[in-house]
Structure 1
Amino acid sequence: MKVGFIQCAVISAVFAVAGYLVFSSASLNTSLPLTVSASLLLSGILTPWLASLFNSSTSVSDKDNASAASDVTTLYVGNLPYKANEDAVKEYFKDFLPVHSVRLMKDRRTGKRKGYGFIEVETDDVDGTIAKLNDSIFLERTLKVRPAKDKVTDQE
């Protein structure tokens, strides 16, 4: 159930009226500015709190549903042509499956491409995708496609 800002404002208004009644009945000599400021304070606190409460719970479930619908997998792609850029690689792979991102590795010193990179693709069948793309020809080069390994960091 998705609750919007208007529903939260209505709930806050109800609390503000209740606050007005509580403050006005608490003492017979209640001044109007105190009552109005107290009801505004209640509505100002409750409206953002209720909105964040309802919106955060619905957005978490929406993210879970989106991630469950499609898996993003990172693949290693080797033997890439040195002249290929990220856009060319993305164009080639998007003919086979949806591509989220492409990262081609470069030499830090020279800035030249190293001939391999990583692509994030949307697939439920990793093995089938690799079988389809491995040994395919891209710009006169035979690509080597494997599942990407997790980056290992030295922790000593």
Structure 2
Amino acid sequence: MKSVYIGNIVYSASEEDMRKLFGQFGEVISVKLINDRETGRPKGFGFVEMDDTGALKAIEALNNTDYMGRNLRVNEARPRKQM
């Protein structure tokens, strides 16, 4: 299982939109779009967890492609830093 970072997401996109988009390439395990803690508004990025093969296909196919008027940034997510 790989975690994929998605950046430059249009603010109106939903987790279901991302599930459909990435589901074309493999099994989507989870989708998490990040919202601002104070305002609750979308921050324009998120993460998709999916099977390894599907993740690699999605990164290759979707990075720097137009989605709802914005060019997505799609790459393998870096591990979270320990606090």
TM-score by length of 2: 0.88
Gaps of 5+ in 2: none
- Partners of 2:74 and 2:41 in 1: CA distance: 21
Relative to structure 2, which stretch is displaced further, 78-87 or 128-137?
128-137
Task: Indicate whether 1:130 and 2:59 are aligned.
Answer: yes
SS at match of 1:130: helix
Structure that is richer in strand per residue: 2
Structure that is richer in helix per residue: 1
What do residues 83-121 of structure 1 show as CA deviations (whole Å, max 9, x unaligned)?
Answer: 111011111111222211100000000000000000001
Aligned to 2:13: 84
Structure 1 or 2, whichever has the larger Rg, is 1
Aligned to 2:70: 141
Aligned partners of 1:123 and 1:129 also within 8 Å: no
- Partners of 2:28 and 2:39 in 1: CA distance: 28
Aligned length: 83
Aligned to 2:41: 112
What do residues 35-73 of structure 1 show as CA deviations (whole Å, max 9, x unaligned)?
Answer: xxxxxxxxxxxxxxxxxxxxxxxxxxxxxxxxxxxxx10
- Partners of 1:137 and 1:104 in 2: CA distance: 18
- Percentage identity across aligned positions? 34
Gaps of 5+ in 1: 1-71
User: After the TM superposition, which segments of 4 or more aligned residues of structure 1 sit over 6 Å from their partners?
Assistant: none
Name the aligned partner's letter for residue 78 of structure 1: G
- Partners of 1:122 and 1:115 in 2: CA distance: 23
Aligned partners of 2:8 and 2:73 also within 8 Å: yes
- Partners of 2:63 and 2:34 in 1: CA distance: 19
SS at match of 2:53: coil
TM-score by length of 1: 0.49
- What are the residue-to-residue correspondences of 1:42-121 with 2, within 5 Å? 72-121=1-50
